[in-house]
Structure 1
Amino acid sequence: MSITLKNVFAPTPTVTRGKSVFVNADPKGTNLVYACGNAIIIRNIKDATVADIYYEHPAATTVARYSPSGFYIASGDVQGNLRIWDTVGKEHILKITLKVLGGAILDLAWSADSQRLVVVGDGKERFGAAVFWDSGASCGEIIGHSKLIQTVDIKSSRPFRAMTGSEDFNVNWFEGPPFKFNKMAATFGRFVNCVRFSPNGDKVVAVSSDKTGVIFDGKTGDKLVDLQGGHAGGIYGASWSADNARILTSSADKTCKVWDATTGACLKTFTFGDTTNDQQLGCLWINDSLISVNLDGEISFLDEANVSKPSKVLKGHNRSIGAIAYDPTTKTVFSSSIDGVLYQWDLHTGIATPFTGVAHKNQVTQIQISGDSIITCAKDDSVKISTISSRTYGPSIGIDSPAVGVSVAGDVVVAASMKSIYVIRAGKLVSTTAAAWEPTSISINTNQKEVAVGGKDNKVHLYNLAGDKLTDAGALEHHRNFVTAVTYSPCGTLLATGCANRSIMVWQGKTEKVSGWVNHSARINSLSWTANSNHLVSASLDGCVFVWDVVKGDQPIQLKNAHPGGVNIAVWTSPSQFVSAGNDGAMKFFDVTFK
């Protein structure tokens, strides 16, 4: 047996209100590169199902940029680590790692010969550094600012010039190499958020939280023209067209604008919604694609023919995904993160569409599907039964404490909170059973007569369901730590259970069919059966996934580092494919080849 990665549905960029989001691209305009969590995301611009993820940073990442040659990516993190790594091949071989600043790296820029880097951000001794990428040796001094430097760019042609923008409201001009402070090019009324040279290096633009932007001469750093009228809110991003004639900006006023680079006149205004999350924090103009990133991390592809509606929006998660489910009827995947928002994913396009209405107010802990209904439970003390065809949230069914699991068979829904077990029919709560031992997970048999509930007391509690009433049917007691996952097989004859002590057991009635698989090195987070009940896939906090043959009992297939930081869930989408999700905010699809 073997496991092969098929697709990656990438997370969206990490965003912070009031801070710029720097999304960059490779020289050919094929891939975007940006920071999310502790990873760097490489994402195909045209195909949302194609992505790669670099996981080697030890801390939260902040920025990444391709070298002009396209062979390397330089990326930074909040600890001041600069890593330069190969883009050729999936291994992404590390070329060098440097500790360039004492605090977070906020932006970086390559020289046109792909030999030098200027890195800026926060630090105790300095706010910027100019280094040779292959040795870390200094190639200049980045000085002249009294507060952290938020942005930097280097002129793309000789003689090299560099511009920096800082929280001290100033834009500084450097000449080199070696790079040396030449002058203060301008002072804005608030933070300078982004500076970018034109592709030919003749001009450079700087934008600020004071709602203004200025275009400078790319050779001398002298002011040429203001962006006429500016924005109604702080400007967080700027990017040039390939012909050097226009500039795209993004703003907290919930618009993006295109400007004439000669006169500074506004040529076009792109509008979005009117919510706080519609603030635009970053932008990129690459070839014929105009891209903007909002406060929700959504990547919008702007349509010059229709300024009121983007041609495409890449939505998704940028934090830990805790629950996913596959619907065989629509052939789509549903997912939710700690924000409680529920997405439906088109597996052919990689496009996610959120549900509308009142969402859960906290993390969704489990998703189940039955026909046109999707059942979710969350830590906001509620269960919802929503409609798939309309993508509309249903009303909340209140329970007494955070929900830990939900399961469905036919017209019966069972749910577990930290205090009780519930039976729900036709959207109504029909019975409640107290559970002093703190439930952790729940599953109902396809025969609609048996319910298994995992507990913090290390037991799997069994119940018989007759009508709306649950009656105690004993317990399974061989786990050595609290039970984290329980799931009945589709055939209804087997029950798989996992625990925090990394053990997996398979039961037939009250008899152990499998006495204990302990191949994982940490807590079991989820278990899922194939439709024929022959194989299990397990997800664990150790970042690994195992596929188990329940019939033959052969050695399982191990998939290491499926999601560094922990795999929260894995579910089958076909007899030979499963999808997994974890703390990296990504969903990955794997093909399994059985012997």
Structure 2
Amino acid sequence: MSIKPIAIAAPQPTTQRGQASHLSYDPVNNRLAYVNGKSVIIKPVDFNSNSPVIVFSKHIHPTTAVKFSPSGFYIASGDESGQIKIWDASPKKGEEIFETPVIKSEFQIMSGPIKSIAWDADNSRIIAVGQGKEKFGHAFSWDSGNSIGDIQGHSSTINAVDIKPQRPYRAATVGDDFAMVFFQGPPFKFEKSLRGNHSNVVRDVKFSPNGDYIVSVGSDRAICLYQGKSGEFIKKMEKTHEGGIFAVAWTPDSNYFITASADGTLKKWSIDNESAETTYRISDKPSIDSQQVGLAKTKDYIISLSSNGDLNYFKDDGVLVQVVKGNQAPITKLLLVDNELYSGSSDGKLFKYEVDKTGTKSLPKLQGTKEEEHSNYVVDILSDKSAIYTIGWDDELKRWKDGKVINSVKLPSQPKQLTKINSSIVVLFESEIQLYDETLALLSECNFNFNSTSVAALSTSKLLVTNVSTNTIVEFDISNNKISQSSNEFPKLRSPPTLIKVSPNGEYIAVADSTGKYTLYKSDGSVVTTRWAFHTAKVYDAQWTKDSKYLLSGGLDTGLYVYSVEKPSKVLKFPLAHSAAVTSLAWIDFDGENKIGEFISSGLDGTIRTWKITN
């Protein structure tokens, strides 16, 4: 048996309120790149495509900027520390997509966040700008890092940079000091600073594809047009949107450009006309979530980024054809019910995806519909008949049906886990258990004098709870919705227990401790084996196969392990399955006789990955 990765569902772009978030488009391979946490995501523009997603996770600090080279073979990405990494972004095939892209070079550019990056048309020179202490920008060669000019002329943070696509090269930068600065090069040197045209922070600047024009946009809702070869000011259009403008992009013919605004709209402008040709609306009611903070003009679509992480696909005529949604933050919990996958994340958001079982690729596209949210970390998700139950760090238990909250209850403290016994919903707290019926009416509760981390139903009348105070498992009896502690005792573990998983046939109990080691018990408390000891850190989740012969496990060490009951000393493993901890697991299918199957994993890297087990 072996584990093979077959698909990645990428997280959405990371956004910060009130900040622009630049998208990068690769016209050669029709791909989109954006930042998410400490990662850079590359995925096909076509939201129906099964082409692989590439995840680059070699930045130590959160990523802030990304830019394809004109050839599409390389990407330059920057982070909060001011470091730039240039790496191989060429399209990969098969299992290669799970290999970490090769870093070609890396440089410490400045002492603060990189805000924007630009390549020249030769794929050899880069200008990176941002928020530094000694300087706000740097021009350098991509391979050696040698300086090729000085980026001067600004008195505060530079928000965007662009390089003229043809020789002779020119560069333009805009920043918080309300200025647009024009450079000649290479080597790039200051030529002029144009002030007084913008009356507030300037957010973005772009040369037209033919190099004839430069357009700048900012928080003052103004659009300024300049000569591309000389940087001379041409004209200014004021009050173009009802909110500040975050981004601008040109059409390939250089006759039009598109702006993205905090008023929730995009507008298409002609260089000859001071009124918008087309208006693209996200919703009829502008909100903070609908602020448009990023923009890319692709071959088939105009793609905008909302401040809530949604990617909006427009046709040129203004029709919104697709909104791609998904988790932005680390994913904390998964639940698969039939062909519907529910995911919860650390920011409290819940999404539902369709899982495609008609081939080897599951989750080929992110077409989830946004559910109502918790206001904080999603702790657990549970299904019961036609309803879904969730708990979060907002101390609420919610009941969902058809994508809507039917009812919810306020919990007495922070919940640890959900499970069900008979038709009752069990909520575990640190030193308490509560029992609810299907409508969330409280049936009973039981306090105990120890701390706990996990609960599992052993039968229709027995619950198992971890006792981290004495490194044991405690059994509780459930009778007529009353909870009482049993006298049965389990052998003591080596370290505090953190997770309990009972096999589907009720015969085995797998208990993981704080070091990642398992103790496998029989249902009567006798020890079967302690050889399941391949994890090197805490286990976050584990799932039994339906035949109760194998246990799939993942945790803080980022590895995936499949343990066998019949052969405890043998393990199927895939180390570094995610770039951060594996948080949750779900089986799609498993054929015990042929030892083949598929499962899904999620991680703190925000990705959902699909895996295949082959014999």
Q: For this structure pair, what is the TM-score category when the shorter chain's length is used for normalisation?
A: over 0.9
**Cα distance change, pair 478–354 in 1 and its aligned pair in 2 (3 A):** farther
Give the TM-score, by structure 1 length: 0.95
Q: Which amino acid aligns with 1:585?
A: G
Q: Determine the C-alpha separation between the residues in 1 that align with 2:391 and 2:448.
A: 18
What is residue 115 of structure 2 aligned with on the other side? 106
2:153 corresponds to 1:144: yes
2:565 corresponds to 1:563: no
Range with greater deviation from structure 2 (527-536 or 75-84)? 527-536
What is residue 11 of structure 2 aligned with on the other side? 11
Q: Determine the C-alpha separation between the residues in 2 that align with 1:200 and 1:524.
A: 55
What is residue 273 of structure 2 aligned with on the other side? 263
- 1:422-433 matches, within 5 Å, as 422-427=434-439, 428-433=441-446
What is residue 360 of structure 2 aligned with on the other side? none
Out of 504, 525, 529, which is 1:490 matched to?
Answer: 504
SS in 2 for 1:439: coil
Runs of 5+ unmatched residues, structure 1: none
**Residue 8 of structure 1: how far off its partner (Å):** 0.9
- Whether the aligned pair in 1 keeps the contact of 2:39 and 2:56 (CA below 8 Å) is yes
- Whether the aligned pair in 2 keeps the contact of 1:109 and 1:117 (CA below 8 Å) is yes
After superposition, give the CA deviation of every residue in 1:372-428 in whole Å (9 maximum; x if it has no partner): 1112122222222211xx211131123221111001244222110123111222322
Out of 232, 248, 251, which is 1:238 matched to?
Answer: 248
- 1:466-485 matches, within 5 Å, as 466-473=479-486, 474-485=488-499
What is residue 368 of structure 1 aligned with on the other side? 382
**Residue 361 of structure 1: how far off its partner (Å):** 2.3
- 1:118-133 matches, within 5 Å, as 118-133=127-142
Out of 515, 534, 544, which is 2:549 matched to?
Answer: 534
Runs of 5+ unmatched residues, structure 2: 357-363, 591-596
**Residue 234 of structure 1: how far off its partner (Å):** 0.8
SS in 2 for 1:479: coil
- 1:543-558 matches, within 5 Å, as 543-558=558-573
- 1:418-457 matches, within 5 Å, as 418-427=430-439, 428-445=441-458, 447-457=459-469
What is residue 352 of structure 2 aligned with on the other side? 344
What is residue 57 of structure 1 aligned with on the other side? 59
Q: Determine the C-alpha separation between the residues in 2 that align with 1:416 and 1:394.
A: 22
What is residue 361 of structure 2 aligned with on the other side? none
Out of 171, 176, 192, which is 1:162 matched to?
Answer: 171
| Percent of residue pairs identical | 30
Q: Which amino acid aligns with 1:183?
A: K
2:419 corresponds to 1:398: no
Q: Determine the C-alpha separation between the residues in 2 that align with 1:304 and 1:419.
A: 58
- Whether the aligned pair in 1 keeps the contact of 2:278 and 2:317 (CA below 8 Å) is no
Q: Determine the C-alpha separation between the residues in 2 that align with 1:524 and 1:373.
A: 28
Q: Which amino acid aligns with 1:170?
A: A
- Whether the aligned pair in 2 keeps the contact of 1:400 and 1:419 (CA below 8 Å) is no
What is residue 318 of structure 1 aligned with on the other side? 328
Q: Determine the C-alpha separation between the residues in 1 that align with 2:412 and 2:272.
A: 64
- Whether the aligned pair in 1 keeps the contact of 2:333 and 2:380 (CA below 8 Å) is yes
2:427 corresponds to 1:415: yes
SS in 2 for 1:393: strand
What is residue 502 of structure 1 aligned with on the other side? 516
What is residue 191 of structure 2 aligned with on the other side? 182
Q: Determine the C-alpha separation between the residues in 2 that align with 1:516 and 1:554.
A: 6
After superposition, give the CA deviation of every residue in 1:501-558 in whole Å (9 maximum; x if it has no partner): 2112221120112224221111111111112212111111111111112233252122
- Whether the aligned pair in 1 keeps the contact of 2:279 and 2:318 (CA below 8 Å) is no
Range with greater deviation from structure 2 (48-57 or 396-405)? 48-57
- Whether the aligned pair in 1 keeps the contact of 2:173 and 2:180 (CA below 8 Å) is yes
- Whether the aligned pair in 1 keeps the contact of 2:531 and 2:568 (CA below 8 Å) is no
SS in 1 for 2:406: coil
Range with greater deviation from structure 2 (44-53 or 371-380)? 44-53
- Whether the aligned pair in 1 keeps the contact of 2:65 and 2:117 (CA below 8 Å) is yes
Q: Determine the C-alpha separation between the residues in 1 that align with 2:250 and 2:235.
A: 16
Q: Determine the C-alpha separation between the residues in 2 that align with 1:534 and 1:377.
A: 30
- 1:162-241 matches, within 5 Å, as 162-187=171-196, 188-227=198-237, 229-241=239-251
- Whether the aligned pair in 1 keeps the contact of 2:313 and 2:323 (CA below 8 Å) is yes
- Whether the aligned pair in 2 keeps the contact of 1:228 and 1:264 (CA below 8 Å) is no
**Residue 26 of structure 1: how far off its partner (Å):** 1.3
SS in 2 for 1:395: strand
Q: Determine the C-alpha separation between the residues in 2 that align with 1:9 and 1:564.
A: 14
| Matched pairs, number | 586
After superposition, give the CA deviation of every residue in 1:98-145 in whole Å (9 maximum; x if it has no partner): 111111111010000001000101112111011010100011110011
What is residue 81 of structure 2 aligned with on the other side? 79
C-alpha RMSD of matched pairs (Å): 1.7
Q: Determine the C-alpha separation between the residues in 1 that align with 2:47 and 2:368.
A: 16
